Amino acid sequence: MAEQMNDTDSFDICIIGAGVIGLAIAYALARKFEQQKLDILVLEQEASFGQHISSRNSEVIHAGIYYPANSLKAKLCVRGKELLYQHCEQFQVPYREIGKLIVGRENELEALLELQENAKNNGVFDLQLMDKAQTGKIEPALTADVALFSPSTGIIDSHSYMQSLLHLAQNRGVHFSPYSRVEGIAVKASGFLVRCLLDGAKNQEQYQFRCRHLINSAGLQAQSVANSIDAVPKEIIPALYYCKGDYFEYRSKNPFSHLVYPLPDPNTAGLGIHATMDLSSQLRFGPDSDYVSSLDYEVSADKAALFAEKIASYFPSITADKLKPAYAGIRPKLAGPGDPAADFMIQGYSEHHLPGLIQLFGIESPGLTASLAIAEKVAGSVIDL
Ligand SMILES: Cc1cc2nc3c(=O)[nH]c(=O)nc-3n(C[C@H](O)[C@H](O)[C@H](O)COP(=O)(O)OP(=O)(O)OC[C@H]3O[C@@H](n4cnc5c(N)ncnc54)[C@H](O)[C@@H]3O)c2cc1C
């Protein structure tokens, strides 16, 4: 049940959205301002944390291979990976640094070498090029002429990770209010007046409160929250495209001990349908990329044949009957179909000229990996408290 608030309530910082990004920011701010004992509030429209993008992904700790040099994605992924492995060790969050293979045919050697070079530019120096024999030795079920091995790629239990962030933040006094949907925000001289709908199982209630700092980490609704802030110039709110990715579970014994990725197709919005697994070694394949117009998480069994066809390029013994619809996630893309990939967008005072407001847009992959680094960056820019 949400904590009760009334219109005289006032908080130092309000964070909208309890996905992995909002939770990581709450924890970073609680640590940074531990001595000042600030009132920090995290609002979440759902009954619990992490019900949207943060629980509908591949749960991969990415190395930082693909993103353009100096992009936020590259810098925050590489820094985030380091922080995330440390966090997992320190707080017993289940993870495994199992490594990943990016596989190709002979004619894709050039593209793999380019990827290796790109990774180096991002500070990722541990990729190893493998020939057919070496690849076959570590993954006999694979068909690949050549591969890049990334030893620092891993998998994480994302639910336990988010739970750890919430727990650590709450231990430092952060308030968490589920069932609390932000509906409108007015900018005042002293900060923000936030209007919410408290939408519990039994009753609905409107309430509002004040805060000095506001962080919009509402994921797929970040643009709609931004539009509800009266003084934010509409022209700086980036366009949002929903890009759905479906996953299928493999019904048979997992033949792999590493993650397996094809080379990303330059014209697709994702990294290609890859083989990923959870910490119990349950193998799943996905995600594909489909631009959609609504938040529909249904996975159609009809796609199994198409998935099998794509996966067969590196795992020839796959058959469609071994694929069972699992779940889907939706990417909050800032680039439309066919457009070049967009970077994460973090807007502060220099973009909107509103003191105390930080907005995060387009936090798609590698947002889970980068979460602690994104939080570090956001906490670093909240200084006047
Ligand atoms: C298919 C897919 C695969 C991915 N794979 C990986 C991967 O393997 N590795 C990796 O590093 N990253 C991956 N990512 C990216 C990663 O999952 C995201 O970057 C990250 O989860 C984004 O978290 P978030 O907190 O911004 O969004 P969310 O988790 O969606 O959180 C936003 C929260 O805001 C709440 N909210 C929205 N509007 C309001 C409102 N008005 N009032 C109150 N609350 C509100 C929502 O309910 C939600 O809980 C993947 C993403 C997708 C879609």
pLDDT in tens, 195-235: 999 987 778 999 899 999 999 999 999 999 999 999 999 99
The amino acid at residue 19 is G
Q: Are 111 and 118 in contact (CB under 8 A)?
A: no
Same domain assignment for residues 250 and 150? yes
Q: 10-16 and 40-43: which strand pairing?
A: parallel
Report residue 166: phi and psi, to 5°.
-65, -45
Q: How confident is the model at residue 3 (pLDDT cuts 50, 70, 90)?
A: very low
Looking at the domain assignment, is residue 67 inside a domain? Answer: no
Same domain assignment for residues 249 and 149? yes
CATH classification of the domain holding 112:
3.30.9.10
Q: Tell me: the pLDDT tens digits for 28-61? A: 999 999 999 899 999 999 999 999 999 999 999 9
pLDDT at 385: 61
Q: Are 24 and 165 in contact (CB under 8 A)?
A: yes
Q: Which atom of ligand 1 is nearest to the CA of 370?
A: 11
Q: Tell me: the pLDDT tens digits for 166-188? A: 999 999 999 999 999 999 999 99
Ligand 1 site, residue 53, Cβ cutoff 6 A = yes
Ligand 1 site, residue 222, Cβ cutoff 6 A = no
Q: Ligand 1: which of 54, 55, 67 to mutate, judged by most atoms within 8 Å of the beta carbon? A: 54
Rounded Cα gap, residues 196 and 184, in angstroms: 7
Count of domains in the chain? Answer: 2
pLDDT at 5: 45
Same domain assignment for residues 261 and 307? yes
Ligand 1 site, residue 18, Cβ cutoff 6 A = yes
Residue 82 has pLDDT above 80, yes or no: yes
Ligand 1 site, residue 332, Cβ cutoff 6 A = no
Query: What value does the mean pLDDT of the chain take?
Result: 94
Ligand 1 site, residue 330, Cβ cutoff 6 A = yes
Residue 244 has pLDDT above 80, yes or no: yes
Report residue 233: phi and psi, to 5°.
-60, 125
Q: 154-156 and 95-96: which strand pairing?
A: antiparallel
* Ligand 1 centroid – CA 184 distance (Å): 21
Looking at the domain assignment, is residue 269 inside a domain? Answer: yes
Looking at the domain assignment, is residue 69 inside a domain? Answer: no
Identify the DSSP state of 124. Answer: -
Tell me, yes or no, if the pTM score tops 0.85: yes
What's the burial of 288, exposed, middle or buried (CB within 10 Å: 0-12/13-18/19+)?
buried
Same domain assignment for residues 197 and 317? no
Same domain assignment for residues 102 and 137? yes
Q: How confident is the model at residue 384 (pLDDT cuts 50, 70, 90)?
A: low
Q: Work out the average pLDDT over 139-148.
A: 96
Choose among 261, 269, 290: nearest CA to 342. 269
Residue 269 has pLDDT above 90, yes or no: no
Q: Work out the average pLDDT over 107-127.
A: 97
Looking at the domain assignment, is residue 1 inside a domain? Answer: no
Q: Ligand 1: which of 85, 368, 372 to mutate, judged by most atoms within 8 Å of the beta carbon? A: 368
Look up residue 349 and give its two tokens.
């005072």
**Nearest protein Cα to ligand 1, atom 35:** 17
Looking at the domain assignment, is residue 91 inside a domain? Answer: no
Domain enclosing residue 44, as ranges: 10-55+159-238+342-381
**Nearest protein Cα to ligand 1, atom 3:** 57
Same domain assignment for residues 105 and 143? yes
Residue 122 has pLDDT above 80, yes or no: yes
Q: Which of 1-15, 72-86, 109-123, 199-213 has the lowest mean pLDDT?
A: 1-15
